[in-house]
Amino acid sequence: MKSISSVLRGISLAFCAVMLIASSFFWAASPAAAETYNVKMGTPKGLVFDPAVVTIKPGDTVQWQVGSLPPHNVVFDSAKVPDGNKDLAAKLSHKGLEGAGKSFEVNFPADTPAGEYSYYCLPHRGAGMVGKVIVQ
């Protein structure tokens, strides 16, 4: 006949095993926290995005901040996004012109396909004001 302590020990071990298994499902299912990345538009370096390339994950947000030489905007080139997805390029674009001290954010939805997303500032594209978001 088992003693009470051995029965309690067995119950405790079973309880610990159940909790360990349950917590592994919780941690595996919890999504990573979304990040926000900052890009300056127009800097002392000139008509550039700084940084010119940002690497993000789906669900992250990119915030563009107007620095010098405004106005600026961000237009994603539908020919230079994965699969030439014109609808996604239009959705990500911020075509309104923003002046000094302004900013705007663009969220890349959780279902954004991985790949390179090239963009430019419409008024300054000819001056080489281009950038890229890489979604991993």
Q: What is the pLDDT of residues 62-96, one digit of tens each?
A: 999 999 999 999 999 999 999 889 999 999 999 99
- pTM for this one? 0.76
Query: What SS3 class is residue 133?
Result: strand
Question: How many other CB atoms are found less than 10 A from the CB of residue 67?
Answer: 19
Selected residue with higher pLDDT from 132 and 17 = 132
Q: How confident is the model at residue 7 (pLDDT cuts 50, 70, 90)?
A: low
Predicted local confidence at residue 33, as pLDDT: 87
**b (16+ CB within 10 A) / e for 1-36:** eeeeeeeeeeeeeeeeeeeeeeeeeeeeeeeeeeee
Selected residue with higher pLDDT from 24 and 133 = 133
Catalytically annotated residues: 72, 121, 124, 129
Query: What are the structure tokens assigned to 9, written together?
Result: 């020990």
Query: What are the structure tokens assigned to 117, written together?
Result: 């997303």
Going along 10-71, which residue ranges are E strands? 36-43, 46-50, 53-56, 61-66
Question: Per the omega criterion (within 30 degrees of 0), is the bond before 109 cis?
Answer: no
Is residue 13 predicted with pLDDT exceeding 80? no
Q: Quick: pLDDT tens for 16-64.
A: 454 445 444 444 444 568 999 999 999 989 999 999 999 999 999 999 9
